[in-house]
Amino acid sequence: MLDFRPELNAIWAQLQITAADTPEIAALFQQEPQRVSDLTLEAAGLRVDLSKNKVSQQQLKLLLEFAAQSPLSYHRSALFEGKPINSSENRAVLHPALRDFGEITALTSGYRDTVYEQRARMLTAAEQIRSGEWLGHTGKPITDIINIGIGGSDLGPKLVYEALREFRHNTLTVHFISNVDGAEIYSLLKTLNPETTLVAIASKTFTTQETLLNAKTALAWLRQGLDIEQVEASSHVVALTASAANAVSYGVAPERVLPFEEWVGGRYSLWSSIGFGIACAVGGEAFSELLQGAHALDKHFAEAPLDQNIPVLMALIGIWNINFLGYPTQAVIPYCERLGLLSAYLQQLDMESNGKSTLRDNTRANTATGPIVWGQTGTNGQHAFFQLMHQGTHTIPVEFIGALQDTLSDATHHRTLLVNMIAQASALMSGKPAPDGEAYRDYPGDKPSTMILIEQLTPASLGALIALYEHKVFVQGSLWGINSFDQWGVELGKKLTNELLPKEADLKAFDESTRALMGLVNTRL
């Protein structure tokens, strides 16, 4: 698997030395007259301006040499060839195959046939719901879908559903339930009619605690409202899962299990049957355009040389910021309210993938790894945390995202939105010295940012944007020497939850604080 420790590469030491002498960003524009054109790239409908980052082109060249000497090229090929690059679970990671219209992944015909068959089955079910052909127990068409999932079975579909609101079916609403907090699902159920509601249980394993508890509540509501004892097997329930046998054992009718493959990771699963709610909302054509946009970025990532490869360059600049400049966080600020869930989605994608301290060779990392990812939409963020970004003691790299056109807005609103975004990036970089005696008005500047532009928010551009971040995260994991495709860090908390849930649980093995807190909870519930 070509294990790798980045700090043992000779170029790593060179990068550490040169980082201390990095000029201010404004000075880099003076020293590199072609900086904007050299560091602005386009692919798959995305335009990415990297010029406002605090890295010289010579330093970037060193970073590219480091990448060339790493296992990145091997890992990139292995990803598309279906090799088991998820080493801890010995699995292939083939989410690009779910959107492979050009056969850039090395799937055998049998695998490809399976992907196409599963997609067709899911899209057929979605179209039956959209057309009114899919009827509930009392003969009424479906008007509401409750997608019950958590993590990758929730965040990705919810992001796309919210982002593509202008493409949605006008008489069908998809609701997303994830948190085990009962207030969420009980509040929703009060507003719905069981006769016209479909429950989509989304779980890769069909064993997820939160999902099954929420599903139990929703099915009890359906059972009471429809007077059906075996409601799980009714036309009001579908399962979206890689564990069809578990779903059938649960009671879901086999013909209403919409499967996907085990090699689809949860946080990469919106392209699979987990995207059922998306397809119901926007239709098969728009869903295919979403896949095609992601595929276009896959093709760019697979084929572009490293020095022209947008995910690679973004990943290298991220590593530069974290490991050499000491900036541990990454803000993502979309200037598009419909992308309001993007930062939450990217938190899971990035922090669950690269929030690791153990390398592929089973040793501890000696370098910092994944960043703390956070953000909010602009211009709202300007009236919240931008104060800290401009004048605080922390340097926070920003990735700004904007659409040049918006059919849901007008020229005045949209121009104001975009100009705000551009002005903030300029202010963060350039700063402004304070007048004498008024240090509180000082803007130090020299704050790095990347600008990502799309022409318009469409299924294709959204697909490309999400795939860009998937591959950026993958590249960083490869260069840090970690496995980006497992998530063992979530297991201990789940184990302890199961130990503490029974009221008669033996608490002796737990610390005094935990025993006291559980004692309090047990007196109430």
Residue 431, token pair as written in the block: 């700063």
Assigned token pair, 341? 């869930």
Active-site positions read 352, 383, 494
Contacts (Cβ under 8 Å, ≥6 apart) of 284: 123, 126, 127
Is the distance from CB of 380 to CB of 343 less than 8 angstroms?
no
Task: Indicate the residue type of 388.
Answer: L
Helices assigned H by DSSP within 401-447? 411-430
Give buried/exposed letters for 53-85 (b at 16+ CB in 10 A, else e).
bbbbeebbebbbbbbeebbbeebbebbbebbeb
Nearest to 157 by CA among 285, 298, 268: 268
In sequence order, the β-bridge partners of residue 330 are: 373
Q: Give 140's DSSP letter.
A: P
**Considering only CA atoms, which of 324, 431, 335, 243 is closest in space to residue 19?**
324
CB-count exposure of residue 226 (10 Å: 0-12, 13-18, 19+): middle
- State the alpha helices, DSSP H only, in 69-108: 72-81
CB 470 within 8 A of CB 295: no
Distance CA 373, CA 350 (A): 7
Alpha carbon dihedral 472, 380, 290, 413, in 10-degree steps, equals -130
Strand bridging mode 329-334 / 372-374: parallel
Rounded Cα gap, residues 105 and 294, in angstroms: 13
Chain centre to alpha carbon of residue 502: 34
Beta strands of 317-417 (E only): which ranges?
329-334, 372-374, 398-405
Cα 362 from Cα 270, distance rounded (Å):
30
CA angle in degrees (0–180, nearest 5) for 146-148-150: 145
**Count of helices and strands (H, E) across the chain:** 19, 11
End-to-end CA distance of the chain: 49
Cα(45)–Cα(79) distance, rounded to whole angstroms?
23
Place of tokens 């010295």: 433
Residues 6+ positions from 126 with CB-CB distance below 8 Å: 276, 279, 280, 283, 284, 287
